[in-house]
Amino acid sequence: MSGAFPVIRDADRVRRLAALPQVRPQALDRLRRAAVAVVGVGGLGTAAAPYLAAAGVGRLRLIDPDVVQETDLGRQILYGPADVGQPKVKAAAAALTAQAPATVVEVSTEALDAHNGRRLLEGVDVILDGLDEGRPRDFLNEYAVRTGTPVVFGGALGYEGQVVVVAPSGPCLHCLFGSVADAAADCAREGILGPLVGVVGALQAAEALKWVMGLGAPLRGRVLQIDLFAGATRVLSFAPRAHCPVCGGQGVPGARPAATSERNPHSPS
Amino acid sequence: MTLTVNGERREVPDVATIAELLDHFRIQHQAVGVLINGEVVGRGDFGTAPVREGDTLDIVRFVGGG
């Protein structure tokens, strides 16, 4: 059967990405070496992970204790009826490996918490938040502040979504929101418009790729809010809060990977 | 009193604090971020942080689903 399925070479996969004037060869090397944890492969995680794999991210670590349910299929488009009852990480890993064989996909069916978090996130360069509850998000924020590992937070409920990057030299999530343990998160009760998770998850994937390659301006210290009902977006900027109990007003330590360019040459100057 | 809330000028009944303003809008105090004239206010200060005529407020709730 040799030749029936042409081998897609890495160079071909990333050729359109590499055509961007800011994306230099070393940025693509960073992607190939990068490990991204996708914590939660529900709506947001299944939307984000295929873009990460497609772009040539070297290692994806999928963390989620849930199994695929019928009620997920309306928005978690990486899964089909045959996956119902399967662990999400297993079904997602199979789909991602088929999509991008060069990407190493690691899986864990543990529920990330304050006890296992350090172990589960060991060696990860960027964390993408696909969680559907607040308490482990509080942990991810604390982890970012302690270790300088960037976290691309995302949320989606009803028609409303948001993305915020907690990363070196920026404020932490607690600075703005306090604990998010009690945040409204139940789409079984509040409902959700399916494409919302695609919009938010794709934005998160873009932020993760930007961070790894040092591209453009991260959504750091800025909350991007999307309201699909109103057809409106809004960006709110915030700085570290003095006396924040998590970061002490110091924000997240560390530095961003060196930028290749801050300016988009396609936009009018 | 007149305030600018999330970019819109709004007439609201006189309130003294952020907590009262959130209650007026029936917004829960959990997982909500408030900026007054661009400065973040911690949740623990909602009950004491003053709201004054002409202030600019941004109120954003954390969206938890995923």
Cβ atoms B41, A135 nearer than 8 A: no
B1 touches chain A (CB under 8 A): no
Q: Please, what sign has the CA dihedral across residues B61, B62, B64, B66? A: positive
Q: Is B8 contained in some domain?
A: yes
With an 8 Å Cβ cutoff, are B65 and A180 in contact?
A: no
What number of CA atoms fall less than 13 Å from residue A4's CA on the CB side?
Answer: 2
Quote the minimal CA–CA distance from A156 to chain B in Å. 5
With an 8 Å Cβ cutoff, are B31 and A183 in contact?
A: yes
With an 8 Å Cβ cutoff, are A186 and B65 in contact?
A: yes
User: What is residue A189's predicted lDDT score, i.e. its pLDDT?
Assistant: 87
With an 8 Å Cβ cutoff, are B30 and A244 in contact?
A: no
With an 8 Å Cβ cutoff, are B64 and A134 in contact?
A: yes
Q: Please report, for the domain that includes residue B14, its CATH number.
A: 3.10.20.30
| Rounded to 5°, angle at Cα A19 from A38 and A216 | 55
Domain containing residue B53: 2-61
Rounded alpha-carbon distances, angstroms, from residue A112 to A65, A104, A116: 9, 20, 6
Rounded alpha-carbon distances, angstroms, from residue A180 to A25, A66, A134, B33: 39, 21, 5, 10
Report, in angstroms and rounded to the nearest whole number, the Rg of chain B calculated over CA atoms: 11
Task: Render pLDDT for B29-66 as a digit per residue (tens, 0 to 9).
Answer: 999 999 999 999 999 999 999 999 999 999 999 999 99
With an 8 Å Cβ cutoff, are B30 and A182 in contact?
A: yes
With an 8 Å Cβ cutoff, are B64 and A161 in contact?
A: no
Quote the minimal CA–CA distance from B65 to chain A in Å. 4
Q: Is B51 contained in some domain?
A: yes
Contact residues on chain A for B61, CB-CB shorter than 8 A:
183-184
Contact residues on chain B for A239, CB-CB shorter than 8 A:
40
Q: Is B66 contained in some domain?
A: no
- Which of A157, A176, A234 comes nearest B63 by C-beta? A157
With an 8 Å Cβ cutoff, are A182 and B58 in contact?
A: no
B66 touches chain A (CB under 8 A): yes
Q: How far apart are CA A144 and CA A167, in angstroms?
A: 7
Beta bridge partners of A38: A62, A128
What's the ipTM?
0.94
Structural element, H or E, at residue A129: strand A126-129
Q: Please, what sign has the CA dihedral across residues A136, A139, A140, A141? A: positive
With an 8 Å Cβ cutoff, are B33 and A241 in contact?
A: no
Domain A10-237 in this protein, CATH class: alpha beta
Cβ atoms A39, A127 nearer than 8 A: yes
Q: Give pLDDT tens digits along chain A (269 positions).
A: 444 555 556 788 899 999 999 999 999 999 999 999 999 999 999 999 999 999 999 999 999 999 999 999 999 999 999 999 999 999 999 999 999 999 999 999 999 999 999 999 999 999 999 999 999 999 999 999 999 999 999 999 999 999 999 999 999 999 999 999 988 878 888 999 999 999 999 999 999 999 999 999 999 999 999 999 999 999 999 999 999 999 999 999 998 877 655 455 555 54
Q: What ranges do the domains of chain A cover? A: 10-237
Contact residues on chain A for B60, CB-CB shorter than 8 A:
162, 176, 223, 225, 236
B65 touches chain A (CB under 8 A): yes
B37: which 2 tokens?
A: 């004239």
A206: which 2 tokens?
A: 């873009």
Quote the minimal CA–CA distance from A254 to chain B in Å. 23
